[in-house]
Structure 1
Amino acid sequence: MSQDAPGSHCKSALDISSLEATDPDDAKAEEESLPRPDNYLWLAILSCFCPSYPVNIVAFVFSVMSLNSYNNGDVEGSRQLGRNAKWIAIASIIIGLVIIGVSCVVHFMKN
């Protein structure tokens, strides 16, 4: 009877350790199955062609931070940073178009 008790205890300990060994793999596979949130890098690069330089650089930085956040496993942080990058890039494009419009109006009013 003393032989059965230690044997069953060792077997259950081995089963638990095998489950613990697969848990990080399962968690990693679950993280990899999550879709990557948009980081709007293309929009941030497009906004860099507008003449609102401090604002569009901030959008580019937020976009790169979103990509790095996803690579580090923070999906929700990546989603928030991507959303911030999108809105800052849109604001940069609008500000750039306003600057271009005002400079065209000023230029053609002088002539």
Structure 2
Amino acid sequence: MALGSKNSLSGSVCLDHGSTEEPPPPLRSYLCLTIFTCFCPAYPVNIVALVLSIMSRNSYYQGDYDGSRRLGRNALYVAVASVVIGLLIIAISCIVHFTTGDF
């Protein structure tokens, strides 16, 4: 067996050349935030945020770290927009409900 080699689980020999490869950047897909935004009443927008977040996770696990970061950032922006739109819809509904009609 060669110096600095390791046996893999399949039985083949993998050479270890002292890999100085840097670890991957942390995953920033904002999946929890986008799941939370699914409870906001801005449904088309928060579904887009959820899809972008899932695409970001898929890109990360495929090794496309720049694409993952870009999709995660877009998911964050769309999720924040979804929360703001949802709060506006709730506020407008309350204003319309409490200013019109009989109590």
TM score, norm. by length of structure 2: 0.77
Instruction: Report the AA paired with residue 91 of structure 1.
Output: A
Which consecutive residues of structure 2, in runs of 5 or more, have no partner in the other structure? 1-14
Spell out the pairing of 1:1-111 with structure 2 (5 A cutoff): 26=19, 30=21, 33-111=23-101
The structure in which a higher percent of residues are helix is 1
* Counterpart AA for 1:96: G
Look up the equivalent residue of 1:68 and give its one-letter code: N
Percent sequence identity is: 55
TM-score normalised to structure 1 length: 0.72
CA distance in 1, matches of 2:34, 2:53: 7
Structure 1's consecutive aligned runs of 4 or more residues displaced over 4 angstroms after TM superposition are: none
Question: C-alpha separation between the residues in 1 aligned to 2:19 and 2:71?
Answer: 27
| Structure ID, larger Rg | 1
> Residue type matched to 2:44 in 1?
P
CA drift at 1:26? 3.8
For the residues of structure 2 that align with 1:26 and 1:76, how far apart are their CA atoms? 22
Distance 2:76 2:61 in 1: 19
Structure 1, gaps ≥5 residues long: 1-20
Which structure carries more strand by proportion? 2
Instruction: Output the aligned Cα RMSD.
Output: 2.2
- Report the count of equivalent residues: 89
Distance 1:57 1:70 in 2: 20
